[in-house]
Structure 1
């Protein structure tokens, strides 16, 4: 088991521990699970009660395979009644985590409670302090290198003065002098990351036809490609994080492209449903943790190769130390490094005719 998977499992185990130990009673009504993950600890409880909000496509897919009710945003539900229990696995980004805890309290019914768990290395003490600041008091336990913390029975949401302010902490906002929209918690949320900037700088103006942006994030590379390459008539954006994909829609609409743009909430490692003349990508090299995951980028490369037409071109940027060249040479007729700077490399790979 890799570090990311182990951390994910430990936090879920810790989250369910107060119920397994009898410290808390499992309710009879519906249970909301924010940033939900599947795992053995969850299966000890009635799964049919759960409404799972998960915007990261690989985690959402795993929950759906387990037969759970999954939504990218709980606000999309037709039934917006509150829940007697809200479970939360907050992220390590502080503003996003605070906003998530505030939403958890908002979704909890009067008399209900919020239960959260975080890995000790992912800001658990801060998360506990934040929930205490929101709700007035918390109880806690430590196990599995994690902290689990929960509210007492909650009052009506308007009794908590920080709630509205914190719920807005991860709201979309303008960055880069108003050129783009982004929000805390998505990759490189408050800047153009240097790898993407390097790739955008070297994209050839003759890219044309139908293309795709794999791991599109909030849309910077797609905007750059459409601005630089007038021959593009269609561009598909694939992104596993629904919050980032929503921003990409806004950012692409704002640049008023002449090309048709379509948006796919999709795990690229499962392959692509269409064929393309070119593909651009700054693939992720970690999942929802800090450990390097070069296998993700390698699977992006394999998916791109399978989706490119003969003589189709892949333009890729990556950290210089990542071992992608062998995978590229396996799938492509020619591979060349176009540029290197600040620890990153830009590579063009061309499919055989």
Structure 2
């Protein structure tokens, strides 16, 4: 996401810019942190403990000089200020607010911001219910809201319940473990189901799953294609990748499995006999980005061995045909259903 487009990040710092809140001395915790000029303008980059599990955002923060963690720093640290950019999924957002409250030092405050069309009013109401409301501001079609200084007067029982709302749990009849906030977290995504149905039983060799999520499509590859000898899962969202590793653990002794917290758009480290992918076409901040899926296809073409096959699924309207035809020797639509298209493309160079 470009800094100019990140209105919630800009609005998050508005109470400090207007003098309504003071930046405290010492470290500040920033949950679901994103990089942008407001961080640099605040001049406190070195103070931030940033928690970000989405790899491209984490890398941008690292380049800016922030300390970045995939999860809350160990040792139960406490902070005078916790900044939060809550996600759209409400259970995940409530759990994040409870987590923010749990890491406040006495007298500390939580400051959160969301865009109006991503649940800002609900988020504000949730924080008010959990810990009371100290104030709010609106700008850039966003709402920033914060607690009064906390001295242990919050609803502790509610905080404990909310902290468990995004906990991993069984889904799909217990076949998988997932959690709120992960893509299609409580169901088999119909696009991935459609693609899995097109996988040939004779698929063989070492493959990759680009954008693996909690591991549904990888599990289908291993269940349907007994000649597969290895599979590398690439996923930018660390919370999803941890679930995928948990879900595929029973198969670890049968095939070589690799798990990579990785931004696929940056390229892959090796070549593959086949690649499967249900690529994303927006960022976690809901920014519409069909170019991400196009880049997944380009990277797959670069990383396949001659004659290797790509199995990709997408919404029917997404503009993938030109890049597929430009990068592959053979392209065919294998199936269409419910607004999705499953495409098989073979790289030229081997019969």
Instruction: Tell me the TM-score normalised to structure 1 length.
Output: 0.95
The residue correspondences of 1:330-341 to structure 2 (distance < 5 A) are 330-341=326-337
Question: Per-residue deviation at 1:256?
Answer: 5.3
Rounded to whole Å, the distance in 1 between the matches of 2:285 and 2:105 is 32
Q: Hey, what's the Cα distance between the residues in 1 that align with 2:288 and 2:142? A: 22
Partner of 1:54: 52
Q: Distance in 1 between matches of 2:67 and 2:287?
A: 30
1:308 correspondence with 2:292: no
Corresponding residue SS for 1:161: helix
Instruction: Name the counterpart of 2:122.
Output: 126
CA deviation vs aligned residue, 1:68-99 (integer Å, no higher than 9, x gap): 1111101xx34432111000000111000000
The alpha carbon displacement at 1:161 in A equals 2.4
Matches for 1:242-281 after TM superposition, within 5 Å: 242-255=238-251, 258-281=254-277
Aligned to 2:196: 200
Q: Is the 8 A contact 2:29 2:48 kept in 1?
A: yes
Q: CA deviation at 1:206?
A: 1.1
Describe the superposition over 1:189-216 as per-residue Cα deviations: whole angstroms up to 9, x where unpaired. Answer: 1100100000111111111111000000
Residue 162 of structure 1: SS of its match in structure 2? helix
Corresponding position of 2:36: 39
Q: 1:260: Cα distance to partner?
A: 1.1
Q: Which moved more, 1:203-212 or 1:256-265?
A: 256-265
Distance in 2 (CA, whole Å) between partners of 1:231 and 1:298 is 29
**Alignment correspondent of 2:22:** 25
Size of the alignment, in residue pairs?
Answer: 348
| Partner in structure 2 of residue 221 of structure 1 | 217
1:15 match? 12
Unaligned runs of 5+ residues in structure 1 are none
Secondary structure in 2 matching 1:61: helix
SS in 2 for 1:133: helix
Alignment of 1:75-86 (within 5 A): 77-86=73-82
Q: CA separation in 1, counterparts of 2:249 and 2:185?
A: 18
Q: Distance in 1 between matches of 2:77 and 2:212?
A: 34
Per mean C-alpha deviation after superposition, the further-off stretch among 131-140 and 166-175 is 131-140
Out of 90, 93, 96, the position equivalent to 2:89 is: 93
Distance 2:7 2:15 in 1: 14
* Superposition RMSD in Å: 1.5
8 Å contact 1:51–1:69 — kept in the other structure?
Answer: yes
- Give the match for residue 297 of structure 1: 293
| Whole-angstrom distance in 2 between the partners of 1:85 and 1:178 | 39
Which residue of the partner structure matches residue 319 of structure 2? 323
Describe the SS at the equivalent of 1:218.
coil
Within the candidate set 68, 82, 94, 1:70 is matched to: 68
> Does structure 2 conserve the Cα–Cα contact (< 8 Å) formed by 1:335 and 1:350?
yes
* SS of corresponding position for 1:134: helix
Tell me, yes or no, if the aligned pair for 2:131 and 2:153 is still in contact at 8 Å. Answer: no
The 3-state SS of whatever aligns with 1:327 is helix
Gapped runs of 5+ residues in structure 2?
A: none
Tell me the secondary structure at the aligned position of residue 6 of structure 2.
Answer: helix
Q: Kindly report structure 1 stretches of 4+ aligned residues shifted beyond 4 Å.
A: 4-8
- Residues 252-301 of structure 1: CA deviation (Å, up to 9, x unaligned): 01455611111000110111011100000000111124454221110000
SS of residue in 2 equivalent to 1:156? coil
| 8 Å contact kept, 2:282–2:292 | yes
Shift of 1:325: 1.0
CA contact (8 A) 1:131 1:138 kept: no
